[in-house]
Chains A and B, each alone.
Chain A
Amino acid sequence: MKYGQRTFIFTFLFIPVLVYVVFVAVPYLTSMAVAFTKWRGLSMNITFNGFNNFIKLGNDENFWNALSHNGIALIALPIVIIIISLFFAFLFTQGIRGNGFFRVAFFFPQVMSAIIVGVLWSFVYHPTIGMLNGFLGILGVSSMKSFPWLGDPNTVFGAILAVTVWQAVGFYMVLFITGMESIPPHFYEAAKLDGANSIVMFIQITIPMLWESIRTAIVFLALGAMDMYAIVMIMTNGSGGPSRAADVVPRYMVEAAFQNGEWGYATAMAVVLMLIILILSILSLRFTQRETLEF
């Protein structure tokens, strides 16, 4: 029996692990080794460079600038998205009609590809024919006429974060609604007898009961905040925004690699980012999960 079990485990793990190691792990590990080299990325011309790439990173303003934007996203995205989606989830429990329609509509951006989202929102923010300025015009905000949302360093990153919020809110809303449905109704009944209104109940019962979902949301959003590559690339047309005002580390990494031909340096950035992500995930997983990590 014991022997059969070991063969079973082996046969079940062998192919998946092999595929994973060959096509995922080996390429990543190879790339990480490159972080300690000088490599132009055009031929097999590679020289060892020790920790120089990492030292250079420390002095690179553009890197810190990009990292700071990931940092802003790391704080802003979870807070804003969770508050808005909790709010919507709360509204959905208030017994509204057309519930299904709203739910489908809110969720849909989540299933759209980054390119399509990017194309649509570039036109929303378009200075002259864009919807945003069009509506501001209707509302009589004339000072914002033709304002270049994606062309001004003060607004570009906020505008991109807003798109991220727009895309994610429906998803987390549904996540929270699902969580709310599993809260036993008698909790609310008891509170109601004590004369609590729905807002009080939401704060005193729903949120504590949802804590597990909220923590999950924090982890997911934190990981997302450290990336942001696709949306920044598409909405700034690859530049990282005016004055690099919306730059994020993955995009800067691509610039270093593809435009400056500094592949060793770029992968050093990736390694730093990876370490940060690793630390963040361990911290947040410790903070959120008790089951899945206890092996």
Chain B
Amino acid sequence: MLDKKRISRRTFIKSSVLIGGAAALAACAPAAAPTAAPTAAPAATAVPAATMAPAAKLDLPFPVDAAAMDPFKLDVKTPVDGQFFSGGFGDEYIRYAAKIQEMVHPGLKVNVTPLQKVQETLQPRFVGGNPPDVMDNSGAGMFKTVDLVNDGQLLELTELFESPSLDTPGKKFKDTLFPGSQISGCVFSGKQYGVNIAYTVSGIWQSKTLADKMGWKYPETWDDMLAFCEQIKKDGKYAPWTYQGKYPYYMWGIVWQQLLYKAGGNDVVLKIDNLEPNAWSDPAVLRATEAIYALWDKKYIMDGTAGLTHTESQAEWLKNKAVFIPCGTWLENEMKTVTPADFNMVMGGIPGFKDGKGDQKAVMADGGETFVVPAKAKNTKGGMEYLRAILSKSSAKWFAENVSSMMPVAGATEGAKVSDGMKSALAVVASAGNAIINVQVANYYSKINKELEVRTGELLTGKAKPADFLKTMQKIADDVAKDPDTPKQKHVL
């Protein structure tokens, strides 16, 4: 959070801006964009006044190009109404971005409201035609982004993506973001409707301390994984696996989807995502499904798992009751109050198949926590500007340091302390090169999402066999494909 001093400085600015404002605006207006602005400018004061004048005047914690000050031409008299899901990251980073936006635009008020059940709370406002100017649409009660898109409720964000970055001089907003991070949950039929502000890598986690103590080596293929689980089970000291019981999402969303790609490559992923007939009878689908079913079938899953919520199962795992758990990089922050000091959680990729068709090094590394600007909002410019602020380098750095997670912003972790868990995840990404796994079917179709949830739960408690799973899912996919009420999406690479 911003310290008090800075906020009081802001109040000072408020009074002085009336005098300085005209000059500042004048400095923004000329198209004389600074070329080769000093990227390593240590402080605003050290920057030549001609290019960095507004920043210097506003006493910002970072330098801002004149051209980057106000690309959307905000009206500072119209406050920004921001409604944000507040989950594992808390809500202070949201307020931090709001403060940045207010600092860049003296006189502007950015209202921040943290929420839990986003849809329950905001739906009437959408129907009523007065949605918020910007929102974080995440969490268990979120709107299905695709529904909002289909209803024409979201602003297409090309203008934002083409605008200059707030504090990475000389770069466009879009060029400061990690490649591949702005697709999942953001791009529908080729158009950009949201930004993902959290960079998440998803894989399988274990305690490094325990692994080192026991001399375990992380398995390379799924067969190795099963063999290793067999050994742990025989030792009888730990259960090999657990997962987020009441939320089977973690098993299909993280494990199964990655296995699907590794077994069948993007061919199969596209077949599934585009609802092709008989897509689910592809042998790769069966292979991925049998792979996770084996965990149940061979009794590798910790007793009682199915009755636990995500935080509860993760707490059991932290007690070393089970060796592996699938999760994304938010895990560390989510569990920080209950993590034993010497636990040392690290992530590994999903072990694949020697003869699989996909890139076996590939990883699921994408963006999460989608922020959107409602198309019918009163102050869409203010909303877009908020997104520019929250994905600024300064905000990203604060996020890395205080939430121990990462924003998909280049240079976000420069000089920031990165946790061991995040380091291990970044190592998995590095070894993957550009092979990013991207399965979209559940983002496109709410019913398939829910059905995967239910059926994976059955698979992992032995209530259904892989063949049943495939049959049911094929039927649901066919129903959705046939349903004229469901607008179809097209996944293209």
Contacts and interface: CB of A to CB of B under 8 A. Distances in A.
A244 interface: yes
B447 A43 contact: no
A261 B144 contact: yes
A152 B126 contact: no
Interface in B225-283: 245-247
B307 A127 contact: yes
B458 interface: yes
Nearest to B451: A62
A42 B308 contact: no
Interface residues of B, number: 41
B304 interface: yes
B77 to A, nearest CB: 28
Given A41-B123, A43-B152, A243-B458, A125 B144 contact: no
B87 interface: no
A44 B308 contact: no
Nearest to B319: A128
Interface in A98-153: 122, 125-128, 133, 145-153
Contact of B308 (A127, A133, A260, A261): A127
B305 interface: yes
B147 A150 contact: no
B123 A153 contact: no
A126 B151 contact: no
A238 B449 CA distance: 14
B148 A152 contact: no
A239 B458 contact: no
A94 to B, nearest CB: 39
Contact of B246 (A40, A145, A150, A244): A150
Nearest to A147: B304
B304 A238 contact: no
B127 A146 contact: no
A182 interface: no
A38 interface: yes
Interface in A151-184: 151-153
Interface in B114-164: 119-120, 123, 126-127, 129, 140-141, 143-144, 147-148, 150-153
B245 A151 contact: yes
B307 A258 contact: no
A268 B449 CA distance: 23
B307 A43 contact: no
Interface string A241-269: 01110000000000100111110000000
Nearest to B151: A42
Contact of B303 (A41, A42, A146, A255): A146
Nearest to A260: B446
Given A42-B123, A44-B127, A242 B303 contact: no
Contacts of B57: none
Interface in A13-53: 38, 40-45
B450 A255 contact: yes
A148 B307 contact: yes
Contacts of A38: 485
A258 B147 CA distance: 10
A237 interface: yes
Contacts of B321: 128
Contacts of A145: 303
Contacts of A237: 140, 246-247, 309
Contacts of B312: 126
Contacts of A122: 309
Interface in A218-246: 236-239, 242-244
Interface of A: 38, 40-45, 122, 125-128, 133, 145-153, 236-239, 242-244, 255, 258-262
Interface of B: 119-120, 123, 126-127, 129, 140-141, 143-144, 147-148, 150-153, 245-247, 302-309, 312, 316, 321, 446-447, 449-450, 453-454, 457-458, 461, 463, 485
8 contacts: A145-B303, A148-B245, A151-B305, A152-B461, A153-B463, A239-B246, A258-B120, A261-B147
